[in-house]
Every structure is written in structure tokens, then in C-alpha cells.
Amino acid sequence: MQVTTADRIKLIVEIIEIAEKISRYLPIAAFLYAGLTLVFAVINFLEYNITLGIVLYLFAGFGIYLAIRIYLTQGKEGCDNTGNIWNF
């Protein structure tokens, strides 16, 4: 079976649409990651291993930083609020 150029373009467009839908929820996922890491850091710091708790605090801080950066950069360049990524 031959795969035509039109089929390839349709597949690429579908992949881009899926990536766009997923990227809407990326800040939420980053905040959840940071929150869970912070909970594990507190548990490890208080009960198990202070060193691992400190490392997890650093990971949680980086997760919060990442979530804030994603939230602040969404909708600035390359995309307006209508979902048009080409800014025409």
C-alpha cells in the first residue's frame, strides 16, 4: 500500500492537533509534579533521609519554576488566544 504525500500531511496535522491539546494542560501537570515532589520531600526530610529530602526540595523548586515559566510563556509568541499559531 502506497502512502501518499496527502496522507502524510494529514498525519502530521493530526499529531500537531494532539500536541496542542496536550500542551494546554502542561502547567497543571508541572504543578502536580512539583506538589507531589514537595510532599515526598517533606516525608523524607522528617522521617527517613535528610539528604534525599533536600534533593527532593530542589526538584520541587525546579518543578514550580518550570510550571511558572510554562504558564507565563503560553500565549505570548507564536500563538494568539484563538489557537492560530501563525499570527495572520
Q: What is the DSSP letter of 85?
A: T
pLDDT in tens, the chain (88 residues): 677 888 888 888 888 888 888 877 877 887 888 888 888 888 888 888 888 788 888 888 888 888 788 777 776 555 555 555 554 4
Name the nearest CA neighbour of 56 among 70, 42, 71, 68: 42
The three cell numbers of residue 50 are 535528610
So where are the chain's domains? 25-88
What b-and-e string marks burial along 4-29, b requiring 16 or more CB atoms within 10 Å of the CB? eeeeeeeeeeeeeeeeeeeeeeebee
Per-residue confidence (pLDDT) for residue 34, from 0 to 100: 83
